[in-house]
Amino acid sequence: MIVTKKDLIQKPVAKNTKVLAQSLYSTYLSNGRDPYIFEPVNKFYDLFGFSDKDDSLSKLLTIFMDLTEPILLEYFEFNTKRYSNLILTFCNYKILHHMHQIYLEIEIDERYLEALKSYVLDPYLKVN
């Protein structure tokens, strides 16, 4: 489902989705506004109180699916470039396996952050 600018202004966001967005945004700011984040999934399990024994990865991916629901902006300007009918998501992510550990490689879309700042009346994420 694509969310339009009008829907984005009014759409409520689930609590866990807000927590994940705030955590990722905080990491983004802590890393000097670097949109690339590479973290072990255990960091996110801890954030939500998941244990390794339950269906944690599936639960976490459900939250990521909510966070990455696309929005459609009919007209949008970012860094002096104009877009029409632009589809954005908060971030893209990949699941990576390395040395018996699972990691998430995440890239936050800075255009989405700008859209959040510009179009949401009561944003779930306070974007600076």
Whether 124 is covered by a domain: the verdict is: no
Please tell me the distance from the alpha carbon of residue 82 to that of residue 71, in angstroms, as a whole number: 16
CATH code of the domain in which 76 resides: 1.10.10
What's the domain count of the chain? 1
Structural domain that includes position 13: 3-119
Residue 90 lies in a domain: yes
Q: What is the pLDDT of residues 35-44, one digit of tens each?
A: 999 999 999 9
- Specify the DSSP element, H or E, that contains 82: strand 81-88
**Could you tell me if residue 115 is inside a domain?**
yes
Dump pLDDT digits (tens) for 65-111. 999 988 888 878 888 888 888 888 999 999 999 888 999 999 999 99
What's the rounded Cα separation, in Å, for the pair 118 and 114? 6
Domain assignment present for residue 60? The answer is yes
Answer whether residue 97 is part of any domain: yes
How far apart are alpha carbons 99 and 44 in whole angstroms?
Answer: 19
Asked whether residue 29 is assigned to any structural domain, the reply reads yes
Structural domain contains residue 125? no
